[in-house]
Chain A
């Protein structure tokens, strides 16, 4: 009985294995149009409607299971997209910063061409620090003695005069802005020959005052105030003539001298790239500056003829 059962079991197994191998061999060996392939296609034709029906009937189940999978997939996708957005945002910020710097450099380039400041050996520097108080009267730049920057060198940007170098280190310098009380710039209004001194307005550090103008000076609101190219004191630097400083906002009628309120053209709250006019030793502006500094104090005031002569010489006549 046991032997019979064992024999039958083994026979069934052998039969099924052999049948499988025959099927396999026959199917593998025949052409796609063969009988077994036809049987398979026929079976598919019969089963297809059942499969289709089962598919439709089980669609809600599939959708439910798929919903969980899709949710998990969507979550991972969302995390990926958040990372991608962060990356793109950083790229956009970097691009905007580059564009901003490019615009500033372009402005400087145009100003250089307009004013012919190439004789002053302009050194382009980046503002690396701003004074944290509300006055914004000093900024720190990333170029110093190593780049030829010296104390009192004028500093400009694409909009106009920014200030002058106050202190110099080897690889950096501190710039006093024109709104700083220590800065005084010889300036004139438009095409007028009358010169005065631009200084910060007392009580309003964001505004400037052009003082010591002759009483008969004609000044109108909206006129531009530019550097005159003269020095106002022996310690001052020689600013190239014609650099825009600001715009006349109002005229003050005073007794002996006339003064006008000037709003700076340069946006001193948003400085990124500036140029330091280093005026290398031996150059014409440097020599003129040295001559001006050696003049007696009485002759170097804003209205001095010596300063005006220097201005005329410095600007090339």
Chain B
């Protein structure tokens, strides 16, 4: 009987063949944590009487949740993190101004390859699935992984998603990803691995693949990844000298279910508060006044989000009632956006650009909201209080919808602006 990609990755990490449903102790190839949990895991290790990590060379730490310290307490924590990094001899430490978002830059820097198994403190590590790597989040148990090398896991069943068709004008992969998690049965998604493939995948760029892998975790998936392909090889060719295998599920592998999903949605999608799968077409919420907008987070990780925002914002100004924050996910993305002229467009439009990392999405430490305010943004979640005040409302959407809404001062279908931009280009 054949194996799914998830079973193959788990089998390698266990050193023996394992199958869905098995309880196992797989050895991760890489472990990641962010700046807000380093002091916590150090405290647990101290309580356990440990003064070393099981494998410090496997640990990667990113200062992405609060790179710009917003209080003396935060500055003190950053100092503690640096001391802890030195104490344990952690080589892969990406501090303020170095990498950017920890779910993104490790791919840019060649840490991530198809078939790898990563354990992380933070649920959106599934972005690594964009390169066919399996990232699995744990919470407090990250301390066990760091102390002992592993923790128990259940080998997941697989939800296979075959993408077909192509995106319509003004529709982005974020719209597709939001729609997808709103139609899949949560009982099928629970504890599953999402595996994306099908003829439509080739048309999805690297950023779009991250977005597809970012969202299933919101409905209970354990992990998500794409079936690696030629695009994966092309992306990695200049980033790593390690051998790359295009590992795939066997033809006779047993999937929990197979879903065919058409990229050709009829309209952009918006997730209403308070959950990311509470999704409607933009026409249902168009006209809702906003005061806050944000593009960034691991759910809008790439240059393509900034490109579409720039195409809408070029020659326009943000509505006077709106404040608009934009956070490039990484320094590489920021550099590319600068070279392409997007940064000047953002500055001219009145956008507040912040240091790479999680940006506003990390609990609203920067750019928070007040009671009674409404935000439209590309963050990962829209729980009440996520970005500050409990009585604020968060709508999640694509970078295109966010940029268009910020110009209009209300939730807006971006195709109005995008089609105008296209017509102008055609006229030139």
> Do these two chains interact?
no
User: Which residues of B are in contact with A by a Cβ distance under 8 Å?
Assistant: none
